[in-house]
Structure 1
């Protein structure tokens, strides 16, 4: 968990160097806190799932986060899903089902 947070922080800092900085305001601080808290809880849950659960099932479900985030982007923010993204999501789901059959 520590190394994930460390690498994510350093990587995020490096990526921020190439973008325009936006100040933290009262309007966006709740969003930032929400993202931070939910990301921490999700990482703790995934770490526990790999520790006590079936590892192959946990891995397959973690790959589904790509599909869920794409669908949420389309539903909540109006992102457009291209045929390539739909095919990629289908490939992720099919490979997870095939890997889970073992």
Structure 2
């Protein structure tokens, strides 16, 4: 059974990068060492691995990666901080009321 990982890195500019891989340690080292010069993280090193989740189905992992990439910073931080109960409320659109 092959395991895939969705991961979030915190970059030196305080932004987040979300990715998917089948080898988390190797992929993190590639990010940290600047293996891909064209990658988002290349000029944002050093990096910190702040979250990861494992999946036995790569298709589910890819779907989760895409989902997380669309999330707001607040929602990503709730996930990172294990505040799962906050996730549904952070998904709700806030509308201004007119007076």
Higher relative contact order (CA 8 A, sep 6+): 2
Question: Common fold, TM-score beyond 0.5?
Answer: no
Larger C-alpha radius of gyration, 1 or 2?
Answer: 1
TM-score by length of 2: 0.24
TM-score by length of 1: 0.24
- Point out the structure with the larger helix share: 1
